[in-house]
Chains A and B, each alone.
Chain A
Amino acid sequence: MTMRAHRRRILLGGAALIAGAAAGAGVLAQAKERVIPVVARKFVFLPNVIKVRKGEPVVLEFSAPEVVMGFNSPELKIRADIIPGQVARVRFTPDKEGTFPFLCDIFCGDGHEGMSGTIVVT
C-alpha cells in the first residue's frame, strides 16, 4: 500500500476518533480544513445539503440544541453521536465524486424517519 493510499484510508475510515490520532501524526495538522457547522434539530439537519470538493479536507461540526441526535453516512462510513451542549466533529476527505445520503440514526421522535440529507462531492 502506498503512503498516499494509506493516508486516504485513515482519513475516510474513522472520522472524529481517528482524527485525533492522525493529527498527532502530523497528517491532518498540515492540511487546511474547511469547517462546516451543521445543526441537528427536530427533525432536520441545517444545512441538509452539504457541498464539498473531492480531496478537500472537511470538518463537519455538529450541534444538537434539543435532544441527542445521530449523524450517519453509511456510504462514506462516517458517523457521530450529537449530544446537546457538545460539538461533535467529523473529519473526512472525500475521495470520490457523487451524492451521498446521510441520516439521523438515533431515534428522536415523530419525524425522525424524514431526518436526512445529502453530501454532494464535486
Chain B
Amino acid sequence: MTIDRREFLKLTALGGGAVFASALPGCASMGGAGGSAGADEFYFVQLSDTHWGFNGPVVNPDARGTLPKAIATVNALPVEPDFIVFTGDLTHTTDDPQERRKRLAEFKEVVQGLKNRNIHFLAGEHDASLDRGEAWKEFFGETHYTFDHKGVHFIALDNVSDPAARLGDEQLAWLAADLAKQSREARIVVFTHRPLFDLAPNWDWATRDGAKAVELLMPYQNVTVFYGHIHQENHHMTGHIAHHSAKSLIFPLPAPGSQPKRDPIKWDASAPYRGLGFRGVEAEAKPVKYEITEMPVTKA
C-alpha cells in the first residue's frame, strides 16, 4: 500500500504525533490540506540537540540510546523524507579537544544508521564555541552554507562558532550577498541553532546580532526559520517571518523565562522520553506553507 504525505501526516497526528496547527503565516493546520502533492512540495525531517557525550542520568538515563531510537523511528517513517537536517549541538561540550573529536566521530558513525543519506548538519555552541568550529569543520565542513531543493532556497547560518553568539559582520555580508540573488517572492528557509530574535536574553536564548539577519531577511516575502538550542517547540513571529524551534533528543528545558534558571527537566520514569522528539516538515508551494508534525522518540 502506498501512502501519500498528507495521509501520513494525518495518521501521525492520530497516532500521537502532534501536528502544529497555527494561524501563524508560514504554517497551516491539517484541516486546510487538500489536493495532491505537486512537484515543488516535499518533506524533510529536523532533529536537534542530540548532545552526544552527555552524561546525566537524572535527566536522561538513556543518553546513548535516545538518538539511535530516534534514528530507528525516522527510518520507519512510511514516507521517506527528501532530506534530514540536524540543527546543532550534535555533541555535548568538552574542554578536551581530543574528546570533542571523539564525540563528533561517534555521532557521525551513529547517524550513519539513517537510511536517508541526504543529511545537512549545523553546529551548536556545544560543538563549536570552544574552538570556533575547528573540530566541527573537520567532520562536517563549512558552518554556514546554502543549498536549493525543489524551489526552496535553504540558508544555514552559524551563530555559535563565535562564543559570544554573534553571526559576525563577515557572515552577515555573505548573507546579504546571497539574498541579493533571490527574488523577493523566493521561498527561503533558514536553518540555525540559536534563535535569531531575543527569545529569552536572561537565559542566553538569543543571537547578539540576530536582529541584523532578520532585517536582511525582512524584504523577502516567504521566509521561515527552523532552529534548535532551546530543547522545546516554540513558535514566534518577527513581522511576517515565522521562527520554529525544535525539541531536543537528550533533555527538555523549561519554557522561556518560566523559572529563574533554565535547568533541564528531570527524567520521568513513568513517561520516558517525554518532551523529547523530532519533527517532520511538509513544505508546500502554493500557497507557501510548512506543516510541522512533532513526533516522539519512539513509536508507542
Contacts and interface: CB of A to CB of B under 8 A. Distances in A.
Interface of A: 68, 70, 72, 74-75, 81, 101, 103-110, 112-114, 116
A74 B201 contact: yes
What is the predominant secondary structure among interface residues of chain B facing chain A?
loop
A66 to B, nearest CB: 10
Given A107-B125, A109-B95, A68 B261 contact: no
Contacts, number: 44
Interface of B: 92-95, 125, 129-130, 160, 163-165, 198, 201-204, 208, 260-263
Contacts of A106: 163-165
Contact of A75 (B130, B160, B202, B208): B202
A103 B204 contact: yes
A70 B202 contact: no
B163 A113 contact: no
A108 B163 CA distance: 8
Given A72-B201, A74-B202, A113-B204, A105 B93 contact: no
9 contacts: A68-B163, A72-B201, A105-B165, A105-B204, A107-B129, A107-B164, A107-B165, A108-B163, A109-B95
A72 B200 CA distance: 12
Closest 5 CB pairs of A and B: A107-B129, A74-B201, A107-B163, A107-B125, A101-B202
A112 B201 CA distance: 14
B169 to A, nearest CB: 17
A70 to B, nearest CB: 6
Contacts of A101: 202, 260
A11 B69 CA distance: 54
A109 B94 CA distance: 7
A109 B99 CA distance: 13
B262 A113 contact: yes
A114 B261 CA distance: 7
Contacts of A116: 261
Given A101-B260, A113-B204, A70 B164 contact: yes
Contacts of A107: 93, 125, 129-130, 160, 163-165
Contacts of B202: 74-75, 101, 103
Contacts of B95: 109-110
Contacts of B261: 114, 116
A28 to B, nearest CB: 26
A115 to B, nearest CB: 9
Given A70-B164, A105-B164, A116-B261, A110 B203 contact: no
Contacts of A112: 93
B93 A110 contact: yes
A112 B89 CA distance: 14
B183 to A, nearest CB: 37
A113 B125 CA distance: 11
